[in-house]
């Protein structure tokens, strides 16, 4: 869904997808969308990461595995931290001036890993590294819409602060609108 939204966005002129599997098929499907964005897909073979990242202005990292039943956040972190670490190293080497958006969970743990990798490479810019937890906001707006009877959740606004975990996430109900 994210690559579909990016491909359809009129502000995007080039989209490079990189993954360990399925990139050619997804790229072919997205190439059929009528938009100005040129799209290419890359796999690890033949320096795919380097080709995908070189010259990038923005890198979005949704990589990793989803949390499975019985899996703790620590289990998830151990796997996803390694994936994020490798991708961030690729950013440091191939697009050190890019804005980097980390979506990989647990975001409140993977972003500090990303920062440390960039610091070690001498490429850290705190104004260009972001953790993205928009899903938490969308969920909160949907839940509030269900409670209030608002049929269009996009008309509901609720700030969500804290980390992306049950212990640290805080929806600010007192600040919600309408």
Is the bond leading into 63 cis (omega within 30 degrees of zero)? no
Q: How far apart are CA 107 and CA 129, in angstroms?
A: 12
CA 33 to chain centre: 22
Which of 84, 90, 164, 171 is the catalytic position? Answer: 164
Would you say 71 and 54 are in contact if contact means Cβ atoms under 8 Å apart?
no
Q: How far apart are CA 25 and CA 43, in angstroms?
A: 11
Q: How far apart are CA 7 and CA 35, in angstroms?
A: 7
Phi (first) and psi of residue 63, to 5 degrees: -65, 155
Of residues 11, 14, 12, 8, the one with CA closest to residue 34? 8
164 is an active site residue: yes
Residues in the chain: 178
Q: How far apart are CA 157 and CA 175, in angstroms?
A: 8
Residues marked active site are found at 164
């Amino acid at each position: 869904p994210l690559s579909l939204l990016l491909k359809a966005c009129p502000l995007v002129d080039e989209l490079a997808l990189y993954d360990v599997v399925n990139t050619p098929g997804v790229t072919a499907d997205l190439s059929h969308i009528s938009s100005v964005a040129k799209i290419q897909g890359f796999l690890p073979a033949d320096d795919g990461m380097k080709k995908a990242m070189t010259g990038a202005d923005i890198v979005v990292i949704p990589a990793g595995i989803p949390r499975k039943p019985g899996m703790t956040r620590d289990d998830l972190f151990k796997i996803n931290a390694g994936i994020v670490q490798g991708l961030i190293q690729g950013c440091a080497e191939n697009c050190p001036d890019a804005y980097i958006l980390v979506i990989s969970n647990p975001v409140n743990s993977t972003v500090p890993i990303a920062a440390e990798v960039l610091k070690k490479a001498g490429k850290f810019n705190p104004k260009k590294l972001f953790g993205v937890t928009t899903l938490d906001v969308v969920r909160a707006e949907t839940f509030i819409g269900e409670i209030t009877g608002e049929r269009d959740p996009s008309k509901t606004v609720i700030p969500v602060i804290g980390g992306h975990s049950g212990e640290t996430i805080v929806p600010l109900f007192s600040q919600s609108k309408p």
